[in-house]
Amino acid sequence: MLSVIDISKNFGDFTAINKLSFEVKVGDVMGFLGPNGAGKTTSMRVITGYLKSDSGNVIINNKDIEIDPIHTKSMIGYLPEGVPLYLDFSPYLYLDYVCQVRNIKNSKAAIKKVINDLQLEEVKDVPIETLSKGFKRRVGIAQALIHNPKLLILDEPTDGLDPLQKFEVRKLIKKLSKTKAIIISTHILDEVPEVCNKCLIINDGQKVFEGTPAQ
């Protein structure tokens, strides 16, 4: 599903990613780990096409993201660390807007499904600016899922959620992994054995470990 091949990214004299390679297949949930400043966010931005790599390739469903950006990006659901929510919108209106941008045909059914999956029914018509951090995070996850992507990239998906909400999101990720390839960046190490079957650790932009959570 996803092949990352020797990607590198520099910002002036600073090397954020240095020849990083890995693969994620449908059915995989990969924990993407490393200390602050290791290059995780930059890597995710390159993989999703938000940043262009200086070298290397990102292949999604056998297509290079730089050669066929529309097709490849349509297959990605991305939850960045700071989701650009429109705070004066309600969750329903925001998700409807996302459906229009993504040209989703049956938008009402798609919105209903993610609102149910993320337990947003009680706040779906409330301005986003009035919501708690946890609810805002769930709206962010909903926009990443609404087009039913094959590749899901989640940066700190349970950040700001209470224990019950974390449990529900982890359960949802396990369910989604049956039909999707998923990458989760997290600082909560307890989360990795709970939901991941693979993990990748990077430091200073380089891979230092790839294997199972048990390893």
Mean pLDDT by runs of 10 across the 215 residues of the chain is 95 95 95 91 93 95 93 93 89 96 93 93 96 89 94 88 85 88 87 91 94 92
pLDDT at 36: 86
Q: Which amino acid is at 74?
A: S
pLDDT at 1: 86
pLDDT at 143: 95
Q: Could you tell me if 181 and 25 are in contact, meaning their C-beta atoms sit under 8 angstroms apart? A: yes
Beta pairing class for 29-33 and 198-203: parallel
Kind and range of the H or E run holding 182: strand 181-185
Instruction: Give Cα 120 to chain centroid, integer Å.
Output: 19
pLDDT at 169: 84
pLDDT at 194: 86
pLDDT at 134: 84
pLDDT at 164: 86
pLDDT at 73: 93
Q: What pTM was estimated for this model as a whole?
A: 0.90
pLDDT at 65: 95
pLDDT at 150: 94
pLDDT at 133: 85
pLDDT at 76: 96
Beta pairing class for 181-185 and 151-155: parallel
**How many helical (H) and strand (E) elements, i.e. helices and strands, does the chain have?**
7, 10
Nearest to 47 by CA among 14, 15, 80: 80
How far is the C-alpha of 115 from the C-alpha of 132, rounded, in Å? 16
